[in-house]
Amino acid sequence: MKKLLLLIFLFPFFSSAQEYVDIFRIGYGQTINNNFEGVDSSTNVKFFDAGLTFPVVLNENQAIITGADISINNVQLFPEAEYTSLYSTNLKLGLASTWSEKWSTTIVLLPKIASDYKNLSGNDFYFGGFALLKLKKNENLKYRFGIYASQEAFGLFTTPILGWYYLSPNKRFEMDMSLPISADVSYKFGCTTVGMDYFGIGRSYNVHYENRPTLYADLSSLEFAGYLQFNALEESVLLRAKVGYSSNNYEMYAEGDKIDLGVSAFSFGDARTQLNPSLNGGIFLKFEAIYRFHIRENPKEEIPNSK
């Protein structure tokens, strides 16, 4: 489902846990094999991502959100072609506000540069952002409603966000849902946690070739995975191993070949001409490390989570 979701780096702010904020996370993974459709050729996709989120507490009701994210994907965009590294780097600047015991908001701006980092120009710069409204139903359950919008190489993309966060009274069972972007369900057994998660990934990158017109890669992927997590240093350091299926697809288009509007899984006015064969999905492995800061001293204070 093309354009199901855009920008995995949004996920840190959609998770609004009560008692912690994930300050730093890093991950590395690789797909086992991705076949090009209609030709006898395949590629592997290697991916690296890292993110920093640093909330600056202004008072008991407001916090400034700062941080940055980077992701690097290494893949063959055409059959038998050389591998290309695609980079996406974004800054995070926003404000989280608590308006009452039940209601709070988060507004974040997300400027980014996305390309192969060759011949960088203003055409590689894109601007996006999102807004969330959160309702605290009780001590264990929160609902969230929001919208995300971004400029991309293919045009304007936007999607609504509906979800909830639930933590069982014994703090073992956790659900973190921000649909259609992400879903995470887990259960903790002491120092280990087992879980399943889903990500809807979508990004675009400008790709520059010497003495050839600029193209762009339109990445759409759905990732489903199970994971085993080791909780170290009083659950401040989380080490996670994941295995799952990813429907990676890097569609190549000419610069300026755009759609009218993308809304969630739907593309309006899409008459583009794809220049490469589509990629089939494949099994992937990934390892992640997360530094988590606990704020149990004041559980009523809500700071955006970076999980």
CA–CA dist 60, 62 (Å, integer): 6
Instruction: Give the pLDDT of residue 307.
Output: 35
Per residue in 220-258, pLDDT tens? 888 999 999 999 998 899 999 999 999 889 999 999 999
pLDDT at 84 over 50: yes
**Average pLDDT of span 88-112:** 95
CA–CA dist 134, 117 (Å, integer): 37
Instruction: Set out the domains of the chain in order of their start, with CATH numbers.
Output: 8-294 (2.40.160)
Instruction: Give the pLDDT of residue 294.
Output: 76
216/11: higher pLDDT: 216
- Cα dihedral 123/158/64/20 (nearest 10): -120
pLDDT at 299 over 80: no
DSSP 8-state code for residue 3? T
Q: What is the pTM of this model?
A: 0.85
pLDDT-based confidence at 263, cuts 50/70/90?
confident
**Average pLDDT of span 80-90:** 95
CA–CA dist 103, 164 (Å, integer): 14
Instruction: Provide the residue type at 299 as one letter.
Output: P
Cα angle 3, 262, 68; round to 5:
65
Instruction: Give the pLDDT of residue 3.
Output: 42
Q: What's the chain's average pLDDT?
A: 87
Residue 272 in contact with residue 259, Cβ under 8 Å?
yes
Residue 202 in contact with residue 3, Cβ under 8 Å?
yes
Instruction: Give the pLDDT of residue 301.
Output: 36
Instruction: Give the pLDDT of residue 175.
Output: 95
Residue 69 in contact with residue 90, Cβ under 8 Å?
yes
CA–CA dist 152, 270 (Å, integer): 14
The encoded tokens of residue 294 equal 């606990």
CA–CA dist 225, 184 (Å, integer): 10
